[in-house]
Structure 1
Amino acid sequence: MWPVLWTVVRTYAPYVTFPVAFVVGAVGYHLEWFIRGKDPQPVEEEKSISERREERKLDELLGKDHTQVVSLKDKLEFAPKAVLNRNRPEKN
């Protein structure tokens, strides 16, 4: 009789184990919430690094006067020399 019973259990195992696992999971889930008590307060999500960077850049832009810009002539004086022109003598 035992071999027949084990054959039946093995054949119909998915049909038996899924409802049992479902019931055990549901009971455990509700038991955990019962023991834990009230829902915890929602935690405010921390901003990502890219969001913080964008906010910092916007704050920097707010403090600047965009009408005052450096002339292109002043910028060209501080431009680095090209690598290929390093060994050539400068014309003064």
Structure 2
Amino acid sequence: MFDDHFPRRRNRHGGRSLRGAPLWIKVTVWVGALLAIAGFGVLGYGFATTLDAFGQSFTTTVPPVGQFEPPSFASLKLGFGLFFAGFAVSAIGTLANNTRR
């Protein structure tokens, strides 16, 4: 199909596999994937604790004005940050794998 004698190793689905990739590319892709999974876990924990805090605040008696503490969204921010950082790192590794010779 190609007559330019450029080596192209592709898997069955048309993309390049990580089998022949340098170690730094494999590490980058795996670290990105693990960061994204960790971010997803932190997001799930954050949603669970935030919903639990909202549920407790609506089922108990209404506190006087100024004493209600809204739930903290810090874990949600951390989860989104980890997920998108992992996605970006994994995308960089995948792009590096696809552009190597």
Same fold (TM over 0.5): no
What TM-score, normalized to structure 1?
0.30
Higher RCO, 1 vs 2 (CA within 8 Å, ≥6 residues apart): 2
Name which one, 1 or 2, has greater alpha-carbon Rg. 1
